[in-house]
Amino acid sequence: MGQQEKVATSLAGAVGEEISASLAPVDAELERRYPGDPGTRQPVHTVYVPGDAYAADTVRSWGDRALAALDEHAPDAASLAAVLGLADDLAEPVYARVRAKLEREPIEDLRIDFEDGYGGRTDAEEDEAAARAARLTAEAYKRGTAAPYTGIRMKCMEAPVRARGIRTLDVFLSGLVEAGGLPDGLVLTLPKVTYPEQVTAMVRLLEAFEKARGLEAGRIGFEIQIETSQSILAADGTATVARLIQAAEGRATGLHYGTFDYSACLGVSAAHQASDHPAADHAKAVMQVAAAGTGVRVSDGSTNVLPVGPTPKVHDAWRLHYGLTRRALARAYYQGWDMHPGHLPTRYAAVFAFYREGFEQAAARLARYANRTGGDVMDEPATAKALSGYLLRGLDCGALDIGEVARLTGLTRADLESFSAPRRGDLTASAQ
């Protein structure tokens, strides 16, 4: 036994108690504003379909059309790998999983569009389309054929279309309630937000609906679409997007970047409007920092280059979409928009390749961390959180199977979830 060290202190216990008391408001503020990721599944994409084009078979139709595109333009793993530059060891597992995904769950998040994709219609036409959307959505959830997440994009809170947007939302939500209740996967999107007051107006609107229908307060959340320069930088030089999150009073679930509206707002010419333009990178970086720790997730935008026409043209569009998706994933934008069934093969190919190519290394690092064994990388709790989050996202989308994850990590899904969502104090304490 070595000599026991003498422990000396100088501060009275009251000092720490006073400091803790003085920081109590800050502790509460941190808990309120930065609760962390909700720990729920985040879809890898959002598919937009016009309100008048939405049908009972939309999800299955998109999957069938995507499979037909694969059959015509990349009928086997080798041909798709050649187009996208997939490594040999990834070609077969990625291709097989893409086909299985398109057969089982082609769309993860479906947005029925009553804004730009729908256009101007008479009030009677939009009322009818909104009521029909509610009926079809309710029926799909009852049959088990709905996308995991489904909802509408209403018109914005700007004066010319405000009343119409409010009415469409009311018709849609009321139709769902009348058909049996709001589904767990309900998602609403508020577009073209420029001022926090517009977000506050959405909050008040949802509060009124919940009260009118006897729903639990706070039941309905919504996404905020970032499509204007004012939503990133306010006239006083502050980051508006942070204020938008605050104005949502806990109801904001996501920030969705609108590639083309935002680019046009900045004067970017049509030929250069893309999600990898420097202006887009700046906007999404501001969104990402503002949302970090709040539980609000960030989504990338879309490409308007559609994979249609002869095979060489389709392959060019696929390479573009695949590259943009992989670029977004590397920048921690785990969701994006898909505008055409032909985008689904490359969406899932990019997502599955991203998770499968880094799977073994991530699993090994997390296993070493969990077992406190050595390695050539010294990981901290924050890195363990990122590693487990990576594996969970791979599991949620179908890129990985729980069996192979458990085999390489020795961890259950519950174990992964405990690593991916530690409380703030747990991270700090375990790093000391």
DSSP result, 82-132 = HHHT--HHHHHHHHHHHHHHHHH-S-SEEEEESSTTT----HHHHHHHHHH
- Give residue 1's pLDDT: 55
Tens of pLDDT, residue by residue over 355-390, are 999 999 999 999 988 887 655 555 678 888 999 999
Please report which helix (H) or strand (E) contains residue 428, including its range. helix 424-430
- Give residue 372's pLDDT: 76
Q: What is the mean pLDDT of residues 161-169?
A: 97
Helix (H, G, I), strand (E, B) or coil at 150: strand
**Which has the minimum average pLDDT: 48-57, 121-130, 172-181, 419-428?**
419-428
Helix (H, G, I), strand (E, B) or coil at 336: strand
d(CA 168, CA 401): 40
Per the DSSP assignment, residues forming a β-bridge with 47 are 110, 338
d(CA 148, CA 47): 12
Quote the Cα angle for 226-227-230, to 5°. 85
- Give residue 379's pLDDT: 61
**Which residue, among 105, 103, 188, has the nearest Cα to 140 in the 3D structure?**
105
d(CA 197, CA 396): 35
Give residue limits of the domains in the chain.
Answer: 45-356, 359-430
Q: Is 284 exposed, middle or buried (0-12, 13-18, 19+ CB in 10 A)?
A: buried
- Give residue 216's pLDDT: 97
**Which residue, among 126, 153, 303, 302, has the nearest Cα to 225 in the 3D structure?**
153
Integer Rg of the chain from CA: 24
Which CATH code of 3.40.50.1370, 3.20.20.70, 3.20.20.60, 3.30.1330.40 fits the domain covering 45-356?
3.20.20.60
- Give residue 377's pLDDT: 52
User: CB under 8 Å to 155, separation ≥6 — which residues?
Assistant: 114, 115, 161, 162, 164, 165, 168, 191
Neighbour count for residue 242 (Cβ, 10 Å): 18
Q: What is the mean pLDDT of residues 111-116?
A: 97
- pTM, 2 dp: 0.92
- Mean pLDDT, all residues of the chain: 94
Percent of the chain beyond pLDDT 70? 95
DSSP state, 239?
Answer: B
- Give residue 376's pLDDT: 52
- Give residue 431's pLDDT: 34
d(CA 364, CA 371): 11
